Chains A and B, each alone.
Chain A
Amino acid sequence: MACSILQLGAAEDYFPLAAVLTPRLQPDPSGPTINVPRKPGPEADATLIALARQINTVDDSLRRKASSGALSEAQLGALIEARNVAAARLMQGRDVLAGTSGGEFPAGEKRAVDNYLSQIMKGLDSPKGRDVVKTNIVFAGLTADVALLYQSYANHSFKSPDWSTYTPGDSIKVGTYIFKVKALMTQRECEESVPVLAEPTERRICGAFRP
């Protein structure tokens, strides 16, 4: 995805993360720059603005943490990746807002961005070096006859066929992951992204999935 910019405000508002991070920790270039819109119209939607401002706040925090050395490289990289996913979801919501007759920021995207931001805030408060964290990701449905698999968000972006088996309680490296619920009988599947940034990371996924 090309870098997209949400209705740029003043140029000085834009302060790319890459400027303060070491080269190895540069954010994914697909991560859009989020500036709070000043223009009325679809981009003046209150939810869109509020979420954009929260991402700005996260960006500020990330810059501070990066310059202070309060987090490990792995933690910082995971937080940046999660921030970029949150920003991408914000852009998806903005596309719906601007390009459809929906008329407001989509609730699903709002929930996703909210979740990412709250996980990022927890990750920012993690002790330095907590690169592997205990997780408890469970299928929210009633059926137990399912398999849980996962792979990194980056691999999923490249449509990697390699999935790892997941058992609730596993400790995994910080990052953003795609978890897959696979029904053993019907082979139906549900996928959901989960940011794993702080210990413990607990999440019930695929609540609406009917195996």
Chain B
Amino acid sequence: MGPTRKSRLMAKGVRRSVLSIPAVLGLVYGIAALTSCGARSQTIESTTTFSYGIGNDPAHVSSHTTGPRGQEDTEYRTGRTLVESLPFRAALIHPVDAVFIGVTNFLAESGKVPTPAHAIGASFAETIFRQAVERTPKDGPSGKPGILGREIKPSLIKLYTDLRLDPRDAAWHANEVALVLDLLEEPVHRYSPGAPLPADGLWRYLGGPEPLTKRRILQIAKEQAERLSRTGGADARVAIFYLASHGRLGDDGNRYAMAADSTRDLSTWIRYDEIADLFRGTRDGVPSLSALVLFDTCLESEDPSPTGSSYEPPGGTVVLSAAAPGQYSWHWRESTQVEVLKDVTGQGSLRKDSGRFDASFYASMSVLPVAIATAVREDEVNCARNATNTIGVTTTVNLVQSLVKKIPTLADSAQAGRHQSAQALFSETTRQNVMAESPENHLLFAIPCGKLMPAEEERLSARRLMASSRINEAIRAAQKTR
């Protein structure tokens, strides 16, 4: 059967150019026994850390009091932050080969300021996937994490950053950054052990001291592509390449990301296509949309009406840019809200207006990983409305759709009076393949549905449900019914 009129029109309208995935990939995934979590609101709370999460109840605020009453009482109240709202139900159900890179240090002659935001962002994104693997049913070979007999290897989720946390170096606001990082679980705790950094100047690295030069970043991507080229069929993996750094749109219309050794000369920067093209040819025989290349960079330009050159990523590859040509990628300000209330009256009654009120240690982070977290998190919340014995799914297509929608709502650009819109680039072939394919090929996360419960109970319940391999049964049932 030939293409329908609607699909022909869609193909005609989107043949070239930068595409908004929601406009062209409006696939409705209905899988028996699986509940789609695709319905999402388009705006979410974006600025107040206290207001994000499931509800806004007092349980989200922890507090403790120190100091003898009658002398000086001090109460520290720590607000719930976004990082505490990382997805906690979703399990990874598709083998991935994921690389997360955050470049924080740059050459002085580049004129670009260093920023921890990129390393925090990369770490945050890596944490989402690593934690999701921990929830994956043990249905791989030899009882390892996996699904339908395919192993999901945590070792193929890699983080590369060069963030040096040195309390003597005010440039990094090191203790503030550490406070925020401490809220993340592995791998950050390996470097920042839940306490202020020692003042003796001992450095702590998130990632490592090795500079993330252009050569090294390209080598990391090349090795990832080579690994993928050696897999396929039953061993097929979804490739995720994430790079957070400074970026800009060149006068030549190309999109560029900055490396640790980049200068003002754009030839020392990394063109988006230098990375994405590495995946060309490695995806043969692999289901489409099997490589997500995520660039969390600005694409600022001095051209007042920049368009960017047209670029068609390899088949099966979606290149997602956190900012459209000419735009900045605004960071998410992640706060550790700490209210310090001191009783200076000597009466032992704490009142906010009776003493000092301090607040807000913060660190900025790239916005794209926040979009990943909130997208999956919203799927979890949506899924919670369904029956307890159902399982929701997030597909790679869902994820890309969500990121394109969410990034602008999360960025601080509106506050600054500047627009930011994320873009996804992919070929017409990729689009057609995705539309033609079975959605099971694109499954990425599985989410146990059912009523949300207090956090600890929730985690246990989610683990029990996933451990029951119900997801396996659901997918098998879906396959049988097709």
Contact = CB atoms under 8 A, between A and B. Distances in A.
B126 interface: no
Interface in A117-150: none
B244 to A, nearest CB: 7
A44 B113 contact: yes
Nearest to B121: A101
State which size class the interface on A falls in.
20 to 34
Interface in A47-103: 92, 95-103
A46 interface: yes
Contact of A42 (B110, B115, B169, B244): B115
Interface stretch (B39-47, B185-193, B294-302, B386-394): B294-302
Given A44-B113, A104-B111, A104-B112, A99 B416 contact: yes
B328 interface: yes
Nearest to B417: A92
B302 A108 contact: yes
A39 interface: yes
Interface stretch (B8-16, B170-178, B220-228): B170-178
Given A41-B170, A100-B331, A103-B112, A208 B300 contact: no
A101 B296 contact: yes
Interface string B436-448: 0000000000000
Contact of A41 (B110, B171, B297, B331): B171
Nearest to A97: B113
State which size class the interface on B falls in.
35 or more
Contacts of A98: 364
Contact of A101 (B110, B171, B328, B333): B328
A140 B138 CA distance: 68
A96 B328 contact: yes
A103 B113 contact: yes
A105 to B, nearest CB: 9
B4 interface: no
25 contacts: A40-B170, A41-B170, A41-B172, A42-B115, A98-B364, A99-B330, A99-B333, A100-B328, A100-B331, A101-B115, A101-B117, A101-B118, A101-B245, A101-B246, A101-B298, A101-B328, A102-B248, A102-B300, A103-B106, A103-B110, A103-B111, A103-B112, A103-B258, A104-B112, A104-B113
Given A96-B328, A102-B300, 20 more contacts: A39-B171, A40-B170, A40-B171, A45-B113, A96-B416, A100-B330, A101-B117, A101-B245, A101-B247, A101-B297, A101-B298, A101-B328, A101-B366, A102-B246, A103-B106, A103-B110, A103-B112, A103-B258, A108-B302, A208-B304
